[in-house]
Structure 1
Amino acid sequence: MFASARRARYTGRVHRRAVISWVGLCLLLLLPACAPRAVRPSVPSVPAVPAVPGGAEDLARRYLDAWARNDVAAQRRVLVDAPADFDAQHARWRQDLGVVASRFERLELESEDGATAVMKFHGVHTLRGLGEWEVESRLRFERRGQRWSLRWTPEVLHPALRSGDRFGRTRSWGPRAALLDAKGHPLTVPGEVIRVGVLPGRVKDRAAVASVLQAQLGVDPVKVLAALNVASIQPEQFVAFIDVRPERYQQVRSALAPVPGIFFRKKLARLTPAEGFAAHTLGRVGEVTAEALQVLGPLYQAGDVVGLSGLERAQERTLAGRPSGEVRLLRRSGGSELLQRFDGEPGRDVRTTLRMDVQAAAEAALMDVTRPAALVAVDTATGEVLAVASRPLGEAPHRALSGRYPPGSTFKVVTAEAVLANGLKPDSRVDCPLEVTAGRQRFRNFESEVLGTTTLRRAFALSCNTTFIQLAAKLDRRALEDAARRFGFGVGYDVGLPSPGAAFPEPRDDAERAADAMGQGRVLVTPLHMATVVAAASSGVWHAPRLLADAEAGPEARLSPGTPEPLRDLMRAVVKEGTAKSAASVAGLMGKTGTAEFGLTVPPETHAWFIGVRGGMGFAVLVEGGGVGGRVAVPLAVRFLQALDAATVLSFKDDAS
């Protein structure tokens, strides 16, 4: 007699009583107070049942609310004659399926005969590592006196479940897709590494083990000794310390193998073209961490191999795709029944803007640099990142993209653009005294240089601080800030990996404006951004950098009309006759050196910079605390370009053959 009742809507996210028509509600709960409205003359025999909280719909709502909260005790309190193993059955259901959350979206009366009733509900269960599983199931009620009671049966969990049955599941990932270079060549391929570790029970001299691992592979001896001192470690338990590529293993094996306790294991891995190749940018893969699980969400589970850093992490969902799997009902009598199939998706390759030859040259340039350093190259016409390398390889900060430093005299490219836009020419006469005063603060030239009256070209080539402080003071108060904006300072952009860009805060006074003019003060940049600055000085247009080939182009800005050609003139002078003349033999090279002060020591420490452009490629070289840009960064720039030229010649020969 309840066949005509309207559906009751239920949602587990907003715990409210479902809206039911007066007719449906009175019929469902059998409320006598509603009888004058709800009972039609054609059905005068409807029994009168008191309006009590034990109504069927109310019981159903309370049960499903408790289920959505994973409050098994509250679920059990709603039931009549709950099975003795009710808690255990629910725990087994949750464990077997990997349920991490449940919600219930609708509730409707399916049947009622006066003594019993059945309500159908729609459940959505999130299964860890697989996704959402939707189930239409039932709650069964029986009337006891004047009340409805909810009796639990296995079909509450699934309509096909019977006593003694269990649930099972399978899950698997497809092959991980590759990171590609700009031409579509793979930068990551499956391969094999050698895991170096120890068997504690075979170690005779712990200090000797720690010493040789440090000497041959750079493993922290404190880490080795701490691992070997763990009380719970088993004598024959392999304790891994580092994975090395086969070529590296061959180099160190003769030194490691004779030491008692050191052993090796082969392991499948994801390899780049060479050890350390674009290591910070491409990133690494490994077993998912607890922190990564929180970020990646319920599609992932413990034990999954995921991207842990770099583009492997940033592009995880694209590279990994989706896992496939099944939910099955395992019959007590044997056999199984497929309940749900989750169709996985293959990972998709991600094409970067990196060029294999340019990246290899960047790695070669920084190969034996012991200080923290970075080298970035970009396409002057597009802002696409051609190469990006950071050192040391074993440290997490990606200095090339995320490190922020004062740019020092490399910022004079920006100041020069501002004064050129104001009417000066490379041959304009300017003064370069030993020192000047701005805002009651004295500023001196580096190494006490004095040029006297000279040209803008020569002052730029020899990086005269006092010249540019004086010139900036004559500009409109916002002219320098506007020029910085044209070079992307203060502009947000998405590279594809975290990178904060460049900052040029509004100067607080004349002294800070003077410091800003020579790249000190509060001006901060990343090596990546300075590569875009020198690229813009050459091309006339600043392009936001990007690492992903299929990403939309970011913001851009055009330099002041008429300034690119004289800027190129100034940057050529730096190489031909100025602070970078040690690179004069490199054909077509233009650029600017920088020696940026930092810290509180007297005299202050300095970062070594060189930003350069050649043949449609802008690049920046930074050595943290390296000293003088012309003496430290310029030689690395030369090495970079020579390695690139050698690779180009080799490639040409290969193509010709």
Structure 2
Amino acid sequence: MPVLGMRSPPARVLLAGIVAASVAAVLVSCSSGSSARPTVERFLGAWSKGDAAAAAALTDNPAAAQAALQGWRSSLDIGAAKLALKSASDTKATFAADVDLNGLGRWRYAGSLALRKVNGKVTVAWSPSVLYPGLAAGQDLRRTRTLPPRAAILDRNGAPLLTPTPVVNVGVEAGRVDPTTAVPILQRTTGIDPARVTAAIAGARPGTFVPVITLRRPAFDPVKTTLNAVPGVVFQTATVDLAPTPTFGLAVLGKVGSATAEALRAAGPGFEATDNVGL
């Protein structure tokens, strides 16, 4: 019995040592796990603000990252983006993306980043999957956007009040047209709102078609020569459902045309200034 009594204190000391070692291990683990957080937060913050150069500088391939981040924002026509950090360790971080796609609405997804630590410096391991999970080398993201056709409007006997009618969509090519020259001519010949058209041109990407007005053939033919002489003014022919005349049943049928600021607000977030909407 005296022998057992002498051995009890060392056992308690040993147990205390084990507990202390465990606590120290936990503290070390927590400290090393959070060391990447500042770098990831700076990367996501710069990406959110559209500062591709600053975000790319925090990766292991700045040139490829900057080109891809710029392409992500421009090709998807992103109005705003918020990339928020969810978790971070030494080798991986996860984030939540909340992206506003112009003319399409909000897009939310969960993403992740692989992290590297070289000589004590944390960097984002760049790959296309940073932009969206599952993207591989040589792949990127593109968007397509289509609007549904106008629904049929029938009289009380079921006959259509709107019939297919040839029209010409008069527009301009952004980047090639000079608004100071083209807009006054378009206003004089077609009666468009110059402020609306100027704003639409300013907000369009170079090379894109900016619709200005849709004219029936009888209204277009007399001004075709004048408009055709203006650099950057272009035409697209189409067939759309229209009433017999521009004023036929207007109070009942309404009309569709290039969006005004008021019509755009009423149409909601799924439409853009270059769309034809109900007026």
Determine the C-alpha separation between the residues in 1 that align with 2:125 and 2:237.
56
Q: 2:91 aligns with which of 117, 124, 137?
A: 117
The question of 1:192 aligning with 2:165 is answered yes
Q: CA deviation at 1:285?
A: 1.2
Q: Give the aligned partner of residue 163 of structure 1.
A: 137
Q: Give the aligned partner of residue 276 of structure 1.
A: 247
The question of 1:91 aligning with 2:70 is answered yes
> 5 Å matches for 1:70-149?
70-77=50-57, 79-104=58-83, 107-109=86-88, 112=89, 116-145=90-119, 148-149=122-123
Q: CA deviation at 1:172?
A: 2.5
Helix, strand or coil for the counterpart of 1:141?
strand
Q: Give the aligned partner of residue 223 of structure 1.
A: 188
Distance verdict in 2 for CA 1:87–1:177, change over 3 Å: same
Determine the C-alpha separation between the residues in 2 that align with 1:151 and 1:242.
50
Helix, strand or coil for the counterpart of 1:84?
helix
> 5 Å matches for 1:395-406?
none
Helix, strand or coil for the counterpart of 2:62?
coil
Q: CA deviation at 1:294?
A: 6.3
> 5 Å matches for 1:121-520?
121-145=95-119, 148-178=122-152, 189-193=162-166, 223-224=188-189, 243-244=215-216, 267-272=238-243, 275-279=246-250, 282-288=253-259, 293=264, 296=267, 298-301=269-272, 303-307=274-278, 309=279
Q: CA deviation at 1:107?
A: 0.6
Helix, strand or coil for the counterpart of 2:141?
strand
Helix, strand or coil for the counterpart of 1:85?
helix
Q: Gaps spanning 5+ residues in structure 1: where?
A: 1-38, 198-219, 227-239, 310-657
Question: In the alignment, residue 176 of structure 1 is paired with which amino acid?
Answer: R
Determine the C-alpha separation between the residues in 2 that align with 1:280 and 1:170.
34
Percent identity reads 29
Determine the C-alpha separation between the residues in 2 that align with 1:162 and 1:196.
39
Helix, strand or coil for the counterpart of 2:144?
strand
Distance verdict in 2 for CA 1:134–1:293, change over 3 Å: same
Determine the C-alpha separation between the residues in 2 that align with 1:286 and 1:275.
12
Distance verdict in 2 for CA 1:102–1:282, change over 3 Å: same
Determine the C-alpha separation between the residues in 1 that align with 2:213 and 2:259.
18
1:219-258 CA-partner distances (Å, limit 9, x unpaired): x9x92499xxxxxxxxxxxxx998458xxx5xx9xxx99x
Distance verdict in 2 for CA 1:134–1:40, change over 3 Å: farther
Question: In the alignment, residue 137 of structure 2 is paired with which amino acid?
Answer: S
Q: Give the aligned partner of residue 48 of structure 2.
A: 68
The number of residue pairs the alignment matches comes to 215
Distance verdict in 2 for CA 1:61–1:195, change over 3 Å: closer
Q: CA deviation at 1:156?
A: 1.3
Question: In the alignment, residue 87 of structure 2 is paired with which amino acid?
Answer: E
Distance verdict in 2 for CA 1:243–1:133, change over 3 Å: closer
Helix, strand or coil for the counterpart of 1:277?
coil
Determine the C-alpha separation between the residues in 2 that align with 1:277 and 1:82.
62
Task: Tell me: higher relative CO, structure 1 or 2? Use CA pairs within 8 A at least 6 residues apart.
Answer: 2
Determine the C-alpha separation between the residues in 2 that align with 1:196 and 1:93.
30
Question: In the alignment, residue 256 of structure 2 is paired with which amino acid?
Answer: V
Q: CA deviation at 1:62?
A: 2.6
Helix, strand or coil for the counterpart of 1:66?
helix
8 Å Cα contact 2:55-2:66 kept in structure 1: no
Structure possessing the higher radius of gyration over alpha carbons: 1
Q: Give the aligned partner of residue 5 of structure 2.
A: none
8 Å Cα contact 2:167-2:216 kept in structure 1: yes
Cα RMSD (Å): 4.6
Distance verdict in 2 for CA 1:170–1:244, change over 3 Å: closer
Determine the C-alpha separation between the residues in 2 that align with 1:65 and 1:57.
12
